[in-house]
Amino acid sequence: MKRPALAAALVLIAISILIVAYRIVSLGYPVTPARPDYVWTFRFDGMLQGAGKDPLFLLSLPSQEHGQIILEESIGSGSMNFNLLKEYDNRIGVWSGRPQREGEHISYRATILFQHKGLDGTVMPLRSSYPYGVADEQIALIEQLTGQWRAMSLSTRTQVVLGFARTGTAGSGNDPGLVKLDKALEGYDDITRLLVLLAAVSVPARTVEGVELVEGVAGSTLPWVEAWTGRNWEHIDPERMEVVSSAKKFLPLSVGGMSAIRISAGRLSMKRFELTRDIMSRWRIFFERVSRSDRFLDVWSLFRIPPEFQQTFRILLLVPLGALLIALLRNIVGFQTFGIFMPVLMALAFRSTGLVYGLGIFAAIIAIGYTARRFLNRMRLLLVPRMSVLVSFVIFCFLILALVGNKLGLRQFMAVGLLPFVILTMTIERFFVIVEEHGVKTALQTSAGSAAVAVITYLIIQWEVLQITFFVYPELILFVMGLQILVGRYTGYRLSELVRFRSFRSSGR
Partner 1 sequence: MIPHPFRGLHEAGVLGMNNRNAEVIMARNPRSLFPLVDNKVVTKELAARSDIPTPELYGVIAKHGDVRQFESIIKERDSFALKPARGSGGSGIILVKEKRETGLITESDRTLTIPYLRYHITDILSGIYSLEGQDDQAIVEALIHPDDVFAAVTYRGVPDIRVVVYRGVPIMSMVRLPTAASDGKANLHGGAIGAGIDLKSGLTITAVHRSAIVTHHPDTGDPVSGIEVPHWEKILLMAARSLEMTGLGYIGADMVIDRDRGPLLLELNARPGLAIQMANRAGLLKRIRKVDEAPEDTFTTPEKRVEWARKNL
Contact 43, 108 (CB under 8 A): yes
Supply the minimum distance, in Å, between the C-beta of residue 334 and partner 1.
8
Based on CB atoms, which residue is closest to partner 1, 434 or 466? 434
E strand or H helix at 207: strand 205-212
Based on CB atoms, which residue is closest to partner 1, 1 or 247? 1
DSSP per-residue string spanning 310-327: HHHHHHHTTHHHHHHHHH
Based on CB atoms, which residue is closest to partner 1, 245 or 491? 491
Based on CB atoms, which residue is closest to partner 1, 38 or 504? 504
Centroid of chain to Cα 466: 14
Supply the minimum distance, in Å, between the C-beta of residue 344 and partner 1.
21
365, amino acid identity: I
Supply the minimum distance, in Å, between the C-beta of residue 429 and partner 1.
10
Supply the minimum distance, in Å, between the C-beta of residue 373 and partner 1.
13
Cα separation, 489 vs 472, in Å, equals 29
Supply the minimum distance, in Å, between the C-beta of residue 457 and partner 1.
21
Based on CB atoms, which residue is closest to partner 1, 213 or 387? 387
Backbone φ and ψ for 11, nearest 5 degrees, come out as -60, -45
Based on CB atoms, which residue is closest to partner 1, 363 or 498? 498
Contacts of 202 (CB under 8 A, 6+ apart): 127, 150, 157
Based on CB atoms, which residue is closest to partner 1, 288 or 429? 429
Distances from the Cα of 35 to the Cα of 114, 279, 337, 468, angstroms = 15, 10, 35, 10
Per DSSP, the three-state class of 487 is helix
Which residues lie near partner 1 (CB under 8 A)? 1, 331, 334, 380, 382-384, 436-439, 442, 488-494, 497-498, 500-501, 503-505, 507-509
E strand or H helix at 481: helix 476-488
DSSP state letter for 100: P
Supply the minimum distance, in Å, between the C-beta of residue 498 and partner 1.
6
Say how many residues make up the chain: 509
Distances from the Cα of 148 to the Cα of 157, 174, 200, 326, angstroms = 10, 17, 11, 75
Instruction: Count the helix, strand and coil residues of the chain and give each as a percent rounded to the nearest 5.
Output: 50, 20, 25
Backbone φ and ψ for 227, nearest 5 degrees, come out as -115, 140
Based on CB atoms, which residue is closest to partner 1, 277 or 438? 438
Supply the minimum distance, in Å, between the C-beta of residue 437 and partner 1.
5
Supply the minimum distance, in Å, between the C-beta of residue 397 and partner 1.
24
Per DSSP, the three-state class of 55 is coil
Contact 480, 324 (CB under 8 A): yes
Based on CB atoms, which residue is closest to partner 1, 1 or 123? 1
Based on CB atoms, which residue is closest to partner 1, 211 or 486? 486
Cα separation, 99 vs 56, in Å, equals 10
Contacts of 132 (CB under 8 A, 6+ apart): none
Based on CB atoms, which residue is closest to partner 1, 334 or 360? 334
Supply the minimum distance, in Å, between the C-beta of residue 487 and partner 1.
10
Supply the minimum distance, in Å, between the C-beta of residue 460 and partner 1.
23
Cα separation, 293 vs 274, in Å, equals 28
Edge-to-edge strand ranges of the sheet holding 36-50: 68-76, 104-114, 36-50, 266-281, 216-218
Contact 287, 303 (CB under 8 A): yes
Per DSSP, the three-state class of 204 is coil
Supply the minimum distance, in Å, between the C-beta of residue 499 and partner 1.
9
Supply the minimum distance, in Å, between the C-beta of residue 228 and partner 1.
60
Contacts of 362 (CB under 8 A, 6+ apart): 346, 349, 419, 424, 451
Supply the minimum distance, in Å, between the C-beta of residue 488 and partner 1.
8
Where on the phi/psi map is residue 202: left (φ > 0), alpha (ψ -120 to 50), or beta?
A: left
